[in-house]
Structure 1
Amino acid sequence: MTAETLVPPRTEPGALPSGGEHVTLDVDGMSCASCVARVEKALGGVTGVREANINLALARADVTLGAGEKVALERLIEAVRDAGYDARARGENAEERAAQREAAELETRARLRRDVLLLVVATVLTLPLVAPMAGMVLGLDWHLPVGVEAVLGTIVQFAVGRRFYVGAWKALRSRSATMDTLVALGTSAAWGFSLYLVLTRGEAARGHLYFEGAAVILTLVLFGKILEARAKASAGDAIRALAALRPQSAVVLEADGEREVPLSALRVGMQVLVVPGGRVPVDGKVISGASEMDEALVTGESAPVAKQAGSRVIEGAINGNGRLVIEVAAVGEDTTVARMIRMVEAAQAGKAPVQRLVDRIAGVFVPAVLGVAVLTFAGWMFAGGGFEQALVACVSVLVIACPCALGLAAPTALLAGTGAAARAGILVRDIEALESLAGADMIVFDKTGTLTLGEPGVVEIRPAQGDEAALVRLAAAVQQGNQHPLARGILADASERGIALPRAADFKVVPGEGVEGTVDGVSVLAGRPEFLAGRGIAIGDAQLADAAATPVAVARDGVFAGLIGLRDVARDSARDALAALAAGGLDTVMLTGDSQPVAEAMAREIGIGDFAARMTPEKKSLRIGKLRRAGHRVAMVGDGINDAPALAAADVGVAMGSGTDVAMETADIALMRSDLGLVPAARDIARRTLGKIRQNLFWAFVYNVVGIPLAAFGLLTPAIAGAAMAMSSVSVVSNSALLARWRPAAKARG
């Protein structure tokens, strides 16, 4: 995923590029699922747009263009405005989007302050209207003059109700209807009927007025909107926390001294200074100095991480007591934090398949409710209930029907769930990844670097002739530049022995087998014994004394030169993580390129019963395909580099890459630190998030299915209907917000 997938570059003035590109708009003014349906319809009607997905919780539109199409950005914004809403393009880089987020948050806080003040005024004006009803319960015969009731009710109707009238008018102009339409019609009917009685009957109208009903509805709906806005804002804390990790400036080391510059001025290769207690401004490599860093907010790792020359550092980490000089490796949109923000935003903007159905229902929900309200009024009149009773039932139907809860059910749960996962160091690419992981019944693990530390050390050297150092020199020389863990182990051994390595020519990696090249004019092969056998090189009965060690066979000019044995160490978290997965009813499998004895020894050590040895990357991919054809839903956990084919072949790929570029760019789910305990934790948050979506949708549907008939049959007053409608949205958002309290059950280390 790149920045361009969010806001594509312009190919000509005012035009967006073609070929299935995406553009993201921030949309203001949406309040319910009917609004979502209207904006999607408006954007989908623009020529050149293939699909438009709207996220109510994020107030965001993701527009996909058709292949070969170009669409003016202004045309998309105009379509949204014609539908009665406002829109603006998201920034093209991290700095612009951060500025937009800050401006939006300031506006949200200002709007909340205004709404709270308006709520106080509305409450003060509404209480005198409901006080006589409370007095009746207590046996007190006290009432307001009807003229005072009319004045108080009118102020509330138009001071608090103004927003609903504006929304209803916008919907009417676009020939549609929303929640604002229902509230405006319902309260206007109650207020208008009451005002008519006051003007025609005077004090004789007492006992037949509904000013208090309209005022209570508007006050409670406003209260619900305030609670909803606060809950939605807290659900977005994850992205705000990530954005806050990015400092505004950095200290650059130059020939003539130090200079503070904005982050936008940094370039790869520059050297920056990080003082004790300072926040790292870039991704990079330590050039000099030693310290410990707090990377908790980036990777979820609570323990300080030691850093020294050569160590990789991540933007946003907090430096300890040491002074560090860092060479810049990535800036701006390419840093780990920037990619994390993009990945979390993309996941939160996704839409569950069930939500697409809900949105289609919402498109006809409000018109259907208007029809039910008309039928309710007609039914009561036909049954002889009288105009007043018919009007009260009609108003109750209009007020209680709430598409808001339907529209917020899935996106708020997704927002909270992916945010909680990100804080724990689990990045989710999209809703499909959550669904696949939650539904998986088998977890397949790579061994090296996943179940083990990926740092095998040399434990045995058996040269066919000559001494050990000569064999190590030959094997290490041809492995230079190879990032395989076994290669790193051999190179580390050569370094410890102080062996000077000649440069290798014609270097070539044979995936899953080994390497070949030319060293000092001699052809050298190093890899699995089967790799040499396939080249016609016989190794005879040579074998390692340690059956659990992985053998690397070396050949020189087509002649077997010896074996080097390496052993890896299982991660401390492996056994507990596997046990947790088994307790959850999942089957676990280990796939490794190692020999059968090595694989068997590791399987016994970590407690995994099913494994397969001598698996090349291609064979791993084929094995996963076979498991899927057998009916399993498979999750593959690997390092994100050598396991790319297997990760792609699985239903969901989980890369445990400690925040590496490849892990976050290729995986469906990326674990930001090498802790196997995050695998069961990821499945847990996936299941909880989908569970919240199901809970929210169930109660949102039940609320409407039960509430509308009760209102139609006159069993609910307008005031009670208004309270129920307000609380329905609040309950959905609050239920989703509970996910923000989720934490991994345990944190094993290593």
Structure 2
Amino acid sequence: MNTPETTSPSIDIGIGGMTCASCSSRVERALKKVPGVQEATVNLATESARITFAAGEQMEARLRRAVRDAGYEPRTPAQMDAADDASPWAGFAPVAIGLVLSAPLVLPMLGDLFGQHWMLPAWVQFMLATPVQFILGARFYKAGWHALLALTGNMDLLVAIGTTAGWALSMWLWLTAAPGTSPHLYFEGSAVVVTLVLLGKFLEARAKRQTTTAIRALHALRPDVAHLIGLDGEMEVPVAEVMVGDRIVVKPGERFPVDGALLEGQTQVDESMLTGEPLPVPREPGDKLTGGSINGEGRVVLQVTAVGSETVLSRIIRLVEDAQAAKAPIQRLVDQVAAVFVPVVLVVSLVTLLTWLWWAGAPFETAVIHAVAVLVIACPCALGLATPAAIMAGTGVAAKYGILIKDAQALELAHKVDIVAFDKTGTLTLGRPILTALVPVEGADEAELLMAAASLQSGSEHPLARAVVAAAKAKEMTFGAPDNVRAVPGRGSEGEVDGRSFLIGSLRWMEELGVALRPLAARATELQQQGATVSAMAERTTDGLVLRALMAFGDEPKPGAQAALAALRARGIKPMMISGDNRGAAEAMARRLGLRPEDGEVMAEVLPGDKAALVAKLKQGGKTVAMVGDGVNDAPALAAADVGLAMGNGTDVAMHAAGITLMRGDVGLVAAALDISDRTVAKIRQNLFWAFAYNVAGIPLAALGYLNPVVAGAAMALSSVSVMSNALLLKRWRPPVCADRQLPGAG
């Protein structure tokens, strides 16, 4: 269930030095021990922590100190940004040095395959391996020492113990060898393992940077300067200095620096960064403009309505960051395993050593090598990366197509959805009335009456009046302004058009005025049963008020809504519609949408306050329910559902209550959101399978002597890289409904 957002302050802290799931668990425990901390979530893939806490003095400093005391490096936002923006080859120097120093040690092994004996003198092996072990590998000793001080274990401790054992064994064999003999040494094993681990961490870091491309791309949408209209005319100012109420000029091809309302000019706006829709949309004076979107061919002036963290773009960035920082429920299992994994591996390694020595009677050096192989292959890096890497890739690519996933729990639950309940108005329908029929009395001219009605209604802001005017404009009719217009609240309006006096209003008002509705009474009843809102048009004549026509108004299904519901049904999901309309009207609209009222797919006459209770009822029997809505009265139902999906063209309240926000009013994005959830969860499961499989298969093979430390090191590095690479395949995802469209920003 989605819960309302907490009001407690929270902070993100970058953390350097984490290498595996054990590290992230240790930092998390250290942060939770700080007085006042309510929740702490550490993400290995983003190398950051999200901490929620009760307000207190110097809280940020205390949290950073806790990270440092746990043996890790708290990073500033500038350091985190620098790491994200680093070159693809950043951090490769230690790997390159390790490869250069290790290559001569490996050559003799390759030579043995071809019957060549290129064994280097022991002192040369020592000179090559020692810098790799103690200079390039110093990071493992430092991090492993901190883990020991905290009475825990991590990947660095395993690597440090394993490679040191191999290096020390080689030293012992060299120094105790009989004069003139050339003992077999294992310097190459230790050096190559250190180099391979460094290579694996480099490739892993490079892949991590690719998973954060969505966030970096969103940040890049914000211009640095704005053209402010000040007292002295137009001038350039930093965007940080722009205030609400300012007037800003935006030239063709520029990005809007902040949110605002269009004051002057007309243009086409590319909002693909916001909605995922590549086609530009027209904007006229009075329309809303979103910071980060691209102005088309017109020079426009906007009045600023939101700046800084209050802009739509900032909120989108925050939603994506929240989702990527969150911990999915499935990650809890991984954390529990990681907490005991390293101690268990140390015990297995010790048992391997003793078993080979005492039970198998193997030489000491053979027993040590097998024990070292166990330590090296058992790195839990892949376990720690399996879930967050997939979540980062999945939420990032979803954001690119206008699907903002606010929390990892919604992402994990969405693929299990059995029922999707839709609010009708504004979600499945356009949410604005249109004139569906104008029924004149016998002998009257329909076009003439529509023109007169549009003229009478042309000055009104009532939704039904706007529908009449829109219908006349759609038929390219021209009409003038009416005379002596008088609005009657709750009833209708009257006025004069070309010297004739007309009234348009509700049937009840007409009855009150004594208008004879009998000529069209049967037709009015028929239209009402079909769910239409019916008004009447009468003319004031010398014989009194005379009925001239009926006008029926109704909502229309959104384009693509029927296909979207069919797509959900094809996935084995039951679509439902919740409406406050009477049952006849609700079922009539449902059938137009392809829903089946006879199968219980329509909930009619539902009061706004009862939607949440209805969602709770649908969840009975273990069903996983998603709710889709856009209004303030949908917020309780969105929060009550297992997964709430808010239409981004709706209200802020609905967006806050929902776990997923769809930035377009496109019902097809619902199926797309469920699809990316399904694929992301599949990647998480694949990653966890491979992470566990490497260890489940590798540890016994190493203990039984089938893997030497070099092969074990390569397998361990490969496990982390394969998990990250598998997660990055999600970046190729495309929404099913958008498969035939140009990608946003492409071209």
Equivalent position of 1:42 in the other structure: 30
What is residue 579 of structure 1 aligned with on the other side? 566
Q: Among residues 680, 692, 697, which one is paired with 1:689 in the alignment?
A: 680
- Equivalent of residue 12 in structure 2, options 6, 10, 24: 24
Cα pair 1:292 1:304 within 8 Å, conserved: yes
How far apart, in 2, do the equivalents of 1:486 and 1:351 lie? 48
Contact kept, 8 Å, 2:258 with 2:306, in 1: the verdict is yes
Q: Partners in 1 of 2:423 and 2:40 — Cα distance?
A: 38
Assess if the C-alpha contact under 8 Å between 2:628 and 2:638 holds in 1.
yes
Aligned-pair CA distance for 1:355: 1.0
The answer on whether the counterparts of 1:450 and 1:638 sit within 8 Å (CA) in structure 2 is yes
- Alignment of 1:104 with 2:92, yes or no, is no
In the alignment, which of 630, 646, 651 is matched to residue 642 of structure 2?
A: 651
3-state DSSP class of the match of 2:177? helix
User: What SS does structure 2 have at the residue aligned with 1:115?
Assistant: coil
Distance (whole Å) between structure 2 residues aligned to residue 252 and residue 214 of structure 1: 63
Shift of 1:183: 0.6
Matched residue SS, 1:51: strand
CA distance in 2, matches of 1:152, 1:341: 48
- The 3 A distance-change label for structure 1 pair 703 and 500 is farther
CA distance in 1, matches of 2:525, 2:293: 44
Other-structure match for 1:152? 128
The equivalent residue for 1:565 is 552
Q: CA deviation at 1:623?
A: 2.8
C-alpha change, 1:135 and 1:264, in structure 2 (3 Å) is same
Match of 1:51 in 2: 39
- Classify 1:574/1:134 alpha carbon distance in 2 versus 1 (closer, same or farther; 3 Å): same
Q: Distance in 2 between matches of 1:299 and 1:202?
A: 76
Aligned twin of 1:670: 661
Contact 2:609 2:633 in 1 (8 A): no
Q: How big is each residue's C-alpha offset from its partner over 1:668-718, in whole Å with a ceiling of 9 and x where there is no partner?
A: 211111222211110000011111111111221122122111111111101
Are 1:479 and 1:491, in contact at CA under 8 Å, matched by a contact in 2?
A: no
Q: Is the 8 A contact 2:95 2:195 kept in 1?
A: yes
Instruction: Give the CA deviation at 1:544.
Output: 5.5
Mark the CA change 1:717 to 1:498 in structure 2 (over 3 Å): closer, same or farther: farther
Separation (CA, whole Å) in 1 of partners of 2:608 and 2:154 = 54
Q: 2:412 aligned with 1:435, yes or no? A: yes
Q: 1:651 to 1:135 in 2, by over 3 A?
A: same
Query: 1:592-631 to 2 correspondence within 5 Å?
Result: 592-609=579-596, 610-631=601-622
Residue among 691, 704, 721 paired with 2:712: 721
User: Does residue 450 of the first structure (1) align with residue 427 of the second (2)?
Assistant: yes
C-alpha distance in structure 2 between counterparts of 1:635 and 1:497, whole Å: 49
TM-score under structure 2 normalisation? 0.84
Cα RMSD over matched residues? Answer: 3.6
Correspondent of 1:679 among 645, 670, 673: 670
Q: Report the CA distance between 1:155 and its aligned residue.
A: 2.2
Q: 1:488 to 1:163 in 2, by over 3 A?
A: farther
Q: Which of the numbers 343, 349, 356 marks the counterpart of 1:373?
A: 349
> Normalised by the size of structure 1, how large is the TM-score?
0.84
541-550 vs 688-697, which moves further: 541-550
Structure 1 position 123, deviation (Å): 1.3
Which secondary structure does the structure 2 equivalent of 1:439 belong to?
coil
What SS class does the counterpart of residue 144 from structure 2 fall into? Answer: helix
- For residues 331-379 of structure 1, the C-alpha deviation after alignment (integer angstroms, 9 at most, x for no partner) is 1101111000100111111111221221122122112211211121111
- Residue range with higher mean Cα deviation, 157-166 or 640-649: 640-649
Is contact 1:279-1:316 (8 Å) kept? Answer: yes
Match of 1:343 in 2: 319
Distance in 2, Cα, partners of 1:488 & 1:290: 22
How has the CA–CA distance of structure 1 residues 477 and 498 changed in structure 2, closer, same or farther, with 3 Å as cutoff?
closer
Counterpart in 2 of 1:319? 295
Question: Which sections of structure 1, spanning at least 5 residues, go unmatched?
Answer: 7-18, 91-98, 508-514, 520-525, 534-538, 555-560
Counterpart in the other structure of 1:382: 358
How far did residue 170 of structure 1 move? 2.5
Partner of 2:239: 263
Q: Tell me what 1:168 maps to.
A: 144
For residues 145 and 214 of structure 1, the distance between their equivalents in structure 2, rounded to whole angstroms, comes to 17
Aligned residues: 693
3-state SS of 1:746 partner: helix
Deviations 1:67-109 (Å, cap 9, x if unpaired)?
Answer: x87673222111111110122465xxxxxxxx56533334x44
Aligned partner of 1:126 in structure 2 is 102
Secondary structure of 1:228's aligned partner = helix
How far residue 725 of structure 1 moved from its aligned partner, in angstroms, is 0.7
Separation (CA, whole Å) in 2 of partners of 1:129 and 1:351: 43
Residues 262-661 of structure 1 mapped to structure 2, 5 A cutoff: 262-383=238-359, 384-460=361-437, 489=467, 498=481, 543=524, 546=527, 548=530, 550-551=532-533, 565-609=552-596, 610-658=601-649, 661=652
3-state SS of the aligned residue for 2:120? coil
User: Which secondary structure state, in structure 2, belongs to the residue aligned with residue 27 of structure 1?
Assistant: strand
Corresponding position of 2:540: none
Deviation at 1:43, TM superposition (A): 1.1
Q: Relative to 1, partners in 2 of residues 1:208 and 1:498: Cα closer, same or farther, differing over 3 Å?
A: farther
Taking a change above 3 Å as real, the CA distance of residues 171 and 487 of structure 1, as seen in their structure-2 partners, is farther
More displaced stretch, 646-655 vs 590-599: 590-599
Question: Alpha carbons of 1:101 and 1:563: their partners in 2 closer, same or farther (altered >3 Å)?
Answer: farther
Could you tell me how far apart the structure 1 residues matched to 2:661 and 2:236 are?
A: 34
Q: Which amino acid aligns with 2:698?
A: G
* C-alpha spacing 1:255/1:461, structure 2 compared with 1 (3 Å): farther
Supply the AA of the counterpart residue of 1:699: W
Q: CA deviation at 1:497?
A: 7.8
Question: Is contact 2:422-2:628 (8 Å) kept?
Answer: yes
What is the CA–CA distance in structure 2 between the aligned matches of 1:576 and 1:288, rounded to whole Å? 39
* Residue 86, structure 1, aligned to residue 86, structure 2: no
Q: Provide closer, same or farther for how the CA distance between residues 732 and 500 of structure 1 changes in structure 2, counting only shifts above 3 A.
A: farther
| Distance in 1 (alpha carbons) for counterparts of 2:701 and 2:507 | 74
Distance of 1:488 and 1:27 partners within structure 2: 57
1:512 matched to which residue of 2? none
SS in 1 for 2:323: helix
What's the CA shift for 1:424? 0.9
Cα distance, 1:469 vs. partner? 11
- For 1:738, give the aligned amino acid: L
Please say if residues 476 and 494 of structure 1, whose CA atoms lie closer than 8 Å, have aligned partners that are also in contact: no
Tell me the distance in 1 between the aligned counterparts of 2:454 and 2:722: 66
Superposed displacement of residue 389, structure 1: 1.1
Task: Confirm or deny: 8 A CA contact 1:459 1:549 kept in the other structure.
Answer: no
Q: 1:591 and 1:660, CA in 2 relative to 1: closer, same or farther beyond 3 A?
A: closer
The residue aligned with 1:186 is: 162
Residues of 2 paired with 1:518 and 1:499: CA distance? Answer: 11
Structure 1 residues 25, 161: CA separation in 2 closer, same or farther (over 3 Å shift)?
same
Question: Quick one: which amino acid aligns to residue 615 of structure 2?
Answer: I
How many Å separate the matches in 2 of 1:490 and 1:357?
A: 60
Identity of counterpart residues, as a percentage? 49
CA contact (8 A) 2:270 2:281 kept: yes
3-state DSSP of counterpart to 1:53: strand
State whether residues 42 and 80 of structure 1, in contact with CA within 8 Å, keep that contact through their aligned partners in structure 2.
yes
Write the distance in 1 (CA, Å) between the matches of 2:168 and 2:199. 23
Deviations 1:615-665 (A, max 9, x none): 332343333232222543211112244433332332222112337644533
In the other structure, the counterpart of 1:236 is 212
Range 492-501 or range 606-615, more displaced: 492-501
Residue 462 of structure 1: CA displacement?
8.9
Compared CA separation, residues 500 and 65, structure 1 to 2 (3 A): farther
User: Secondary structure of 1:201's partner?
Assistant: coil
CA deviation string 1:579-606 (max 9, x = no partner)? 2111110111122233444433333333
